[in-house]
Amino acid sequence: MAGLVAAGGSFSAQAEERDPCADAVLNARQYMNEEKLNKVVSAQWQIITSDKANDIEKLASLVVFVTYQRAAYDWRKVKSKFGGAEGWDSHMYQTCSEMVTNYNVVEMNTAPASSEPETSYEDIY
């Protein structure tokens, strides 16, 4: 999918540079009214397994995707708050961009091993 940019409250195709948040908004909008769970889950899985996005882009895309799904159930409220689809798209694009831009990469702990026992995911969950 070509990268997209917000322009005057709408999105327009622009092939020069990939924009993960514009892609996330378009993908979420495409599945917004999908009622078949297998298609929704498949679309989410495509985000998770994508080789085109890094971890924060995947997380932001999933947040956008799920938020669009939720918005579809209460569109009148979204429309009144954001002025319709263009306002909503612009808001979600901005939200996604802020997530991606403000994310601080968590570095792997390189400190020497402590004497405390390790905790695994199984122990936590």
- Please name the residues in contact with 105: beta carbons below 8 A apart, sequence gap of 6 or more: 56
Q: Is residue 112 part of a domain?
A: no
Residue 108 has pLDDT above 70, yes or no: no
The residue among 116 and 78 whose pLDDT is bigger is: 78
Let me know if 18 is exposed, middle or buried by CB neighbors in 10 A (0-12, 13-18, 19+). Answer: middle
Residue 46 has pLDDT above 60, yes or no: yes
pLDDT of residue 8: 41
Round to whole Å and give the CA distance between 81 and 24: 21
Q: What is the pLDDT of residues 19-30, one digit of tens each?
A: 999 999 999 999
Instruction: pLDDT band for 9, please (50, 70, 90 cuts).
Output: very low
Average pLDDT, the chain: 82
Q: Is residue 124 part of a domain?
A: no
Q: Is residue 115 part of a domain?
A: no
Q: What's the structural domain count of the chain?
A: 1
Q: Is residue 18 part of a domain?
A: yes
